[in-house]
Each structure stands twice: as structure tokens, then as C-alpha cells.
Amino acid sequence: MKRIGFLTSGGDCQSLNATMRGVAKTLYQIYSDIEIYGILEGYKGLIYGNYKLLKPKDFSGILTEGGTIIGTSRQPFKHMREPDENGLDKVSAMKSNYKAWKLDCLVILGGNGTHKTANLLREEGCNVVTLPKTIDNDIWGTDITFGFQSAVDIATNAIDCIHTTAASHGRVFIVEVMGHKVGWLTLHAGIAGGADIILLPEIPYDIKSVVKALEKRTKEGKRFSILAVAEGAISKEDAALSKKELKAKRKETPYPSISYKLGQEIQERTGQEVRITVPGHTQRGGEPCPYDRVISSRLGAAAARLIEKEQYGYMVGFRDGEIVPVPLEDVAGKLKMVDPDSTIIKEAKGLGICFGD
């Protein structure tokens, strides 16, 4: 009897169910005697012992269903070694439940924080296989993460929809895209949506450069401009501050996000009307796009094969069009950032897109 646990942690995304389905359907093909348990609400379920037995029927009809059928939660890695409010040792509790449930392997789907905790469990002796989930596409060791393309489609659609109203009214529109630390989502949606200016966390912007680009468009007879701005975009001035100074400054700011601060500065410097659009959590919602369904199915099937070979301690990654196992210790704690000198940035600049640098 094989006993496998499924756990989804961190923020949700469109392809969590599709990926679990890929793992489960392949495992059911491999093993005639297997039990799959859904650990409820992420690492919280593993800590406090909340789980349920999943049947083959639970994986039917979920290929196109967003979110996660077993729930999720955020359990910050930096607090994992700290006892909870009742003094419970979280790591010991997770190990104890893993052993009590007699799991042969724990399949964990999540982003960067999730992978750090997964690696911790590997170090503590648990058999772990992970899958790269995040709309940010910032997990090291894989070219693509499931959920990313679906989020790109939604963010791009938001920019597409803004084009008509921006053109009609001759305004500057800022579309704020998710991404605190990395700008892959904003970069791809910005290019796909025909944004005139793209601001990313990896490329601190100069407001003078942004204004110059807007004024250039006005002189060329362009009636409107669209900015795709990552929620983690940062000015050169703020980028020069220490973490402590930046935290203190942001605490005092009257703006709900960087886009509103940027919008006011643009309006004051150019006299143009500025409007802000924030798609927000819609970027993580809805059904997965066909591309994500294919990627999720492939990644899930590959994870099942690792379990079959008892090849534990790996993340299933996607590199150069092929599925590859990536050592978990190489993944944990690393972010895949946008390189300011990368070819995609150079090509975007060649199209005339301004990055504010």
C-alpha cells in the first residue's frame, strides 16, 4: 500500500487543481493499491493534523477549476522554528503527523516560502517531492511556473481593456500588476498589452525619465499612454535607502500603493489626467488557461514518476521545453529575478518601451 500526501501552500493560483490531478491520475495508473490524502489548508493542516482521504472521483472535473480543493494558507518560513501561541513545536508536529499517517511521500505545491519549508522537511527526514506554483514565475530552477501564464492572460486583458477608455479620454492610465519582489508578470503582460512604460522592482525608475517618455508621446501626437507597474516597483531614490529607512518611509506614506504615488507625481509634472487600475486578486483567480493545463499535467505526471522511482528531495522543473528534477536544496531560498541586461528587456526597449531607467 502506497500512502501519498498532497499539500498546497501559500497563495492560490489557477492550476493547483490541474497539477494535483496530473499527479493523482498518473499514480492511479502506476499503483493498484494506493491512498492519497489531502492535507487541509497547507502547512497548517500538517502541523495540526487536519487531512482527508481523497478518492479518484475527487480528481475528476478539476482540470479547469481554479483554486485548490484542499485549501491553502500562508505559514511564513521564518516563523516555522518558533512555537505557536500554545507552545507547540511546529516542525516536530509536522514530522510526527507525517509518521503517524505512514506517508511514503509528501507532494508539496507552492512558491518560494513553501519550498523553503519543504526543504526543511527534507532535512528532517521526510520524503518530499515539490511542484513550482506561483503567478510570479520567480522560482529558481524552472523556466516556468504553473499559474504564471494564466495570470499573464488576465493582466494582459486588463491592459487591453484600458486601451479603449484611455484612447477615448486622452488620459494616462496606470495598471498595477501583482509582483512585490520580481517583475516577470508585469514584464510579460506589459509587452503583450502594448504598454508604453513598464516599471519593475528589478529596475528602479527615475520619475524624470517616466515624465520624459510621456512628454515624448504627447509631442508625437499620441493622445494617451499606458503604464504597466509592478506593485513592487521602486524609485531610484527609495532604492538607495536602507531596508530600515525604506520601511519607515513606507509606513508614513499616504498612498495605498506605488501606483497612486506615481500617478500624483505624473499629474503634477505633466498636467495630464491620470487614472489607476488595480486588477488585484483577479490575476490569481478563474480557470487555468490551456497552456497552464498542459504544463500542470506534465509536471504532475513527472512528479508521480519520481515517486515511483523513490527519487525524493526534488522539485519538478521545466527547462528548455523538458521536464527535469531539480534538487530541492538548490531551489530553496533563491529567487529568479528579471535581469535588467537580459535580451527580453533589450528587445522591449527596442520596441520603444520605457523602463524608467
CA 249-137-306 angle, to 5 degrees, is: 135
DSSP conformational letter for 104: S
d(CA 305, CA 294): 17
The residues of the chain scoring below 70 in pLDDT are none
Q: Which residue has the cell 480528481?
A: 59
Domains, the chain, in order of start with CATH, read 2-147+288-331 (3.40.50.450), 151-284 (3.40.50.460)
CB 183 within 8 A of CB 342: no
pLDDT at 250: 83
Please identify which of the residues 84, 89, 104, 136 carries the catalytic annotation: 136
DSSP conformational letter for 82: S
Phi, psi for residue 279 in degrees, rounded to 5: -60, -30
List the helix and strand counts (H, then E) for the chain: 13, 11
Question: Which of 303, 323, 298, 322 lies closest to 314 in space, CA to CA?
Answer: 303
Which residues fall within 8 angstroms of residue 91, CB to CB, at 6 or more apart? 80, 81, 120, 124
CA 304-306-310 angle, to 5 degrees, is: 115
**Is 136 labeled as catalytic in the residue annotation?**
yes
CA 206-347-219 angle, to 5 degrees, is: 55
Task: Fill in the amino acid letter for 73.
Answer: S
d(CA 40, CA 72): 7
pLDDT at 18: 97
pLDDT at 300: 98
pLDDT at 188: 98
CA 122-43-232 angle, to 5 degrees, is: 95
Count of all residues that appear for the chain in the document: 357
CA dist list (Å): 138 to 110, 122, 266, 333: 11, 22, 30, 11
pLDDT at 34: 97
d(CA 12, CA 143): 20
pLDDT at 169: 81
Q: Which residue has the cell 515511483?
A: 308
